[in-house]
Amino acid sequence: MTGRDIFAGDLADLYLDALVARDPGRLPLSANVRFSENGQSLPIDSGLWRTAGGPITYRFPFVDSASGAVGLFAVLPENGQKTILAARIALENGLVTELETIVVRRMGALFAPDRLTEPRPLFLQALPPEERLSRADMIRAADLYFEGIERDDGAIIPFSADCHRVENGVRVTGTHDIDERTIYTETLAGQNPADQISSGFFHYIKRIRDRRYPIVDRERGLVAAIVMFDHPADDLVITRPDGSQLAMPKEALSPSSALLYYLFKIRAGEIAGIEVAYIMLPYRSRSAWLADGEG
């Protein structure tokens, strides 16, 4: 572990301990700290700060090598019900100025906090210097993922052959172990991420907007992205380039948006792993972190 890892882990631990104690005062807060939960600006002592408890059964901190910003995935109970927490902590002069959180509470079948126990080893491994990309190239690779979804084209995304994706604790690519209640049919879940996207299945995701890349860890090859998906629900069935028809999943038949916190592992220029925590919101919801007129 390097010094920066220890500091990231320390700040993440300090935050989680403060959360379990329901006491934001245990954090070195700036007087002007901004806090959000699930896209809403809130007083720092509200939301999960009033409902969290222990034990923390999963913790995965990561840090921006340039800015010192800390990211975090964790699992902890809220009034006895397990939740998945994805957080971002920004610092200035050693004080917390921004705390952005997404709290995933019991939702449809794509919610398995019990399956999150240890970070995937892939995400902890430091990259040999020759496999590291520039900050801009890392963000470009992550952004291509969203471009590929918008265009139903997995081929434009630089995936490694062994890349798979975990959403709210559930592995949803290259697996046959899938809950039948999810939108992921067995055929779909058996595919790799590129083929899933090229199948047209994600056509209902019409726009991926308000893309932010707040944390980049060059040494480990990690990029965090916080984005909003729009699902206008205007297609029941799509016709694919080969002329075949594909019905959109029933969950995509009413308008909605989704707020998602991604973590990409980028190794040797390829996306080698994806972790996502997300929540569903009313259509065209906006994040508190955008200034008026943005998005």
Partner 1 sequence: MDTPAEQHLLTFIESYIAALAAHDPSRLPLASGARYTENTNEIAFGQGLWGTFSGLGDYDIRVADPARNAVCLLASITEHEAPAIFALRLRIEADRIVEAEALVARGRAGAETMGVADPVFTTEVPPEQRTPQADMIALVDRYFDGVEQSDAFDLRFHPDCVRRENGSQSTSIPDRTEDFVAGRFHGYALDIRAQFATRMWSFIERVSPRRYVIANERTGVVVGFFGFQHPGAITHFIAPTGDRVPMPPYALAPSTFEIAEIFKFEAGAFRRIEAIGVILPFGQHPGWPAPQHGRTT
Q: Does 79 help bind partner 1 (rule: CB under 8 A)?
A: yes
Nearer to partner 1, 124 or 233 (CB): 233
> Near partner 1 by CB under 8 A, which window of 45-53, 90-98, 114-122, 216-224?
45-53
Which helix (H) or strand (E) is 228 found in, with range?
A: strand 222-231
Residue ranges in the chain assigned as alpha helix (H): 3-20, 121-124, 135-151, 186-189, 193-198
- Cβ atoms within 10 Å of 129's Cβ, excluding its own: 8
Of residues 1, 31, 55, 80, which one binds partner 1 by CB under 8 A? 80
Name 82's Cβ contacts closer than 8 Å, sequence gap at least 6. Answer: 57, 75, 76, 113, 114
Q: Select from 287, 285, 272, 289 the least CA-distant residue to 145.
A: 272
Q: For residue 222, give both structure tokens.
A: 């990690």
Nearer to partner 1, 182 or 192 (CB): 182
| Alpha-carbon gap, residue 111 to 108, rounded angstroms | 7
Nearer to partner 1, 128 or 282 (CB): 282
Q: Does 181 help bind partner 1 (rule: CB under 8 A)?
A: no
Nearer to partner 1, 40 or 185 (CB): 40
- Cβ atoms within 10 Å of 291's Cβ, excluding its own: 6
Nearer to partner 1, 126 or 281 (CB): 281
Of residues 2, 6, 25, 40, which one binds partner 1 by CB under 8 A? 40
Q: Does 50 help bind partner 1 (rule: CB under 8 A)?
A: yes
Q: For residue 186, which amino acid is it? A: E
Q: Does 282 help bind partner 1 (rule: CB under 8 A)?
A: yes
Q: Does 46 help bind partner 1 (rule: CB under 8 A)?
A: yes
Beta carbon of residue 285, minimum distance to partner 1 (angstroms, whole number): 6
Q: Does 234 help bind partner 1 (rule: CB under 8 A)?
A: yes
Number of residues in contact with partner 1, rule: CB under 8 A? Answer: 33
CA angle 186, 190, 193 (to 5 degrees): 125
Beta carbon of residue 111, minimum distance to partner 1 (angstroms, whole number): 13
Could you tell me where the beta strands, DSSP code E, fall in 52-122? Answer: 58-63, 70-78, 81-92, 95-104
Q: HSE-up of 103 (CA within 13 Å, CB side)?
A: 21
> Near partner 1 by CB under 8 A, which window of 88-96, 114-122, 167-175, 276-284?
276-284
Residues making contact with partner 1 (CB under 8 A): 37-42, 46-48, 50-51, 78-81, 83, 105-106, 232-234, 236, 250, 253-255, 279, 281-286
